[in-house]
Chain A
Amino acid sequence: MPIINPMIAAEIPSRAGVGLKAEHYEDILSVKPDIGWFEVHAENYMGDGGAPHHYLTRIRREWPLSLHGVGLSIGASQPLDQDHLLRLKKLVDRYEPGLFSEHLAWSTHEDIYLTDLLPVPYNRETLQTVCNHIDEVQTVLGRQMLLENPSTYIAFQTSTMSEVEFLSEVSKRTGCGLLLDVNNVFVSAANHDMSAHAYLDAFPLESVGEIHLGGHAPDSDDEGCLLLIDAHDRAVADPVWALYDRTIRSAGALPTLVEWDTDIPDWQTLFNEALAAEAILLGEKSADRRGAIAV
């Protein structure tokens, strides 16, 4: 069903946005904050009607929207769920999002949905599977997608390449863009005793179309060493802000999303996180993504 009222332009500006939460619908519509854009989890808007579509339609009339999938299971060896792909297509047609992104992860096995973003080994076989799936998504949706780097807690003996090599190769082969989650870089680097700076130095920043920031929770592993959990339950940590600042200085200003999905704070607290990101974006020239990232 097309939206009757005209929407503002679809393109996501190189500004800060936040993940849209039902808890904030009314605040956003009454305060009309000066924020660049919103992002939603696609799966939360796959019902037939009611409040989710009512509010998203109203918000989409005033802000650009990015659609972020969490359930496509692109990293699964089994074929993509065709019904789910068609649901995504319907949402894309209805809300005309400026960006569509999904994860380098899997979440469905046979017909069981495993309610998490699970890791894949980085090798030739996975690469071929992921590229085939992304080709299929981009063909069905008729547009480019962005693929997000995961946060991981384990690694596989069957990996034969680094995560950055893997993502670079996927982007090169499929023409998809990349969503760089700086918090995930920090979390995974800490969990696998690697350098986040080295990861970012190697990352193909020219393919990045969007950045994610979020909070993580400290825990410990089997050796008693620090293990970071990608919890999205608190403010962005200082070292993640520092990594983000470094990334923007090197890549230019990019659409940046603050995610906060658990223990959701009041609107002003979340908005302040977006303002903090915007302060870093301010003064940096927008990264030119025309050509590299087809919006």
Chain B
Amino acid sequence: MVPSLSKQQRAFAASLRRPDGPVPEDVTHPGSVPPIKRFNVYRNNVATAEIDALAATYPAVEALVGSEFFRATAREFAVQFPPRSPLLFRFGGDFAYFLSDFPPASQVPYLADIARLEWAQLQAYHAADATSVPIEKLGDIPPEDVGDVRFTFHPSTHLVRSKYPIVSIWADCTGRSELSPPDISASEDALVVRPAIEVNTRALSGGAGEFLAGLMRGQTLQSAADVAADQVSEFDLSLHLSGLFETGCVMAIERPTPGGNR
């Protein structure tokens, strides 16, 4: 009986993802043996496209572990977390999670955080376009209301928090800095934002990560600053506020609603 297209494609897809399995039954044999090498062209095309997509998204992870280890890891990842969209730039969002629980990668404790940073950079690269507002816009707010404003962030804005100096490590292993290997006892949060075409990555320290995290959760300027100051006694609000605006991550300043809770 002629297998229906649906059954045939189910068998074909299953064979594709089973590296040592037989070729599907209805594939013709041009010679005397089953055409494994021919079928493997498809298997290789699939695996290579998956691995290449991950290598394009995670160059710093690849630089940290070496190409051979990276490709073997990427292959294992793709088996467990295959692409679920024809948009390949959506593939690989679980890579950091996978690395955090992948014993062979445990020797590089910050690997998963570097992967989270690179995933954030890819999201920023494709995020919607929007116009940032300059810090001068805060001058339009009556002084007594400034503490109650909330910020809306540029769609490309991502905060990646880490107990490792992830921005220094990332810059080092992607050739963006000449620095010697960083002191991994220091920690850095990363602000990723793409105000125009280029994706920018900035290290946050001195409570700036805590401050931005509060603002991104929708806290008022005053509450976010208070939380940051609780964590870091020398937190410098005006320095970090102008630092945030300089990155272009603020898209709008929302004034407090008249009569709303202060």
Q: Which of B2, B26, B85 contacts A113 (CB 8 A)?
A: B85
User: Is B138 an interface residue when CB atoms closer than 8 A count as contact?
Assistant: no
Closest to A76 in B: B9
Contact among A71, A112, A192, A223 for B82, CB-based, below 8 A:
A112
A-B contact pairs, 23 of them (CB 8 A): A44-B89, A48-B129, A49-B128, A49-B155, A70-B86, A71-B87, A78-B9, A81-B86, A110-B13, A111-B84, A113-B84, A113-B85, A113-B88, A115-B50, A153-B42, A154-B27, A154-B39, A155-B28, A156-B28, A192-B30, A221-B30, A221-B38, A222-B36
Given A114-B46, A222-B35, check contact A43 B88 (CB 8 Å): yes
Is B83 interfacial (CB-CB < 8 Å)? Answer: yes
Chain A residues with CB below 8 A from B42, complex form: 116, 118, 153-154
Select A71's contact among B12, B13, B86, B155, beta carbons within 8 Å.
B86
Min distance, Cβ A111 to any Cβ of chain B, angstroms: 5
B25-41 CB mask vs A (1 if < 8 Å, else 0) is 01110111111111101
A219 to chain B, nearest CB (A): 8
Please tell me if A286 contacts chain B, counting CB pairs below 8 Å. Answer: no
Looking at chain B, what size class is its interface with the partner chain? 35 or more
The docked-state distance in angstroms from the alpha carbon of A126 to that of B33 is: 27
Distance in Å: Cβ of B24 to nearest Cβ of chain A: 9
A193 to B35, CA, bound (A): 14
Q: How far is the CA of A160 from the CA of B6 in the complex (A)?
A: 17
Let me know if A46 is at the binding interface, CB within 8 A: yes
In the assembled complex, the CB of A145 is this many whole angstroms from the nearest CB of chain B, namely: 16
Is A125 within 8 A of B28, CB to CB? no
Chain A: minimal CB distance from B176 (Å): 18
Number of interface residues of A (CB under 8 A): 55
Check B5 against A120 for contact (C-beta < 8 Å).
yes
- Does the CB pair B127–A49 fall under 8 Å? yes
A118 to B5, CA, bound (A): 13
Assembly CA distance A129 to B6 (angstroms) = 10
* B125 touches A (CB below 8 Å): yes
Contacts of B194 in A (CB 8 A): 50
A121 to B50, Cβ gap below 8 A? no
Task: Judge whether B232 is part of the interface by a CB distance below 8 angstroms.
Answer: no
Q: Would you call A268 an interface residue if the criterion is a C-beta within 8 Å of the partner chain's C-beta atoms? A: no
Q: Give per-residue flags for A160-186: 1 if the beta carbon is below 8 A from chain B beta carbons, else 0.
A: 000000000000000000000000000
Known: A51-B197, A223-B31. A77 touches B45 (CB 8 A): no
B84, closest chain A residue (CB) = A111
B30 x A107 contact (CB < 8 A): no
Which B positions have Cβ atoms within 8 angstroms of A?
2-6, 8-10, 12-13, 16-17, 23, 26-28, 30-39, 41-42, 45-46, 49-50, 53, 82-89, 91, 124-130, 155-156, 194, 197
Q: Is A283's CB within 8 Å of the partner chain B?
A: no
Residues of B within 8 A of A155 (CB): 27-28, 30
For B28, give its contact among A111, A114, A154 (CB under 8 Å).
A154
Q: Quick check: A121 and B6 within 8 Å, CB to CB?
A: no
Asked if A247 is at the interface (CB within 8 A of a chain B CB), the reply is no
The residue on B at minimum CB distance from A228 is B41
A116-B155 contact in complex given A76-B9, A154-B39, C-beta closer than 8 Å: no
Determine if B83 and A113 form an interchain contact, defined as CB atoms under 8 angstroms apart: yes
Q: In whole angstroms, what is the CA distance A76 to B7 when docked?
A: 11
Does A109 contact B127, Cβ atoms closer than 8 Å? no
Chain B hits for A115, CB < 8 A:
45-46, 49-50, 53, 83, 88
Closest B residue to A128 by beta carbon equals B5
Q: Which chain B residues border A188 with CB–CB below 8 Å?
A: none
Q: Does A157 contact B (CB under 8 A)?
A: yes
A43 with B39: in contact, given A114-B13, A193-B30, A223-B33 (CB under 8 Å)?
Answer: no
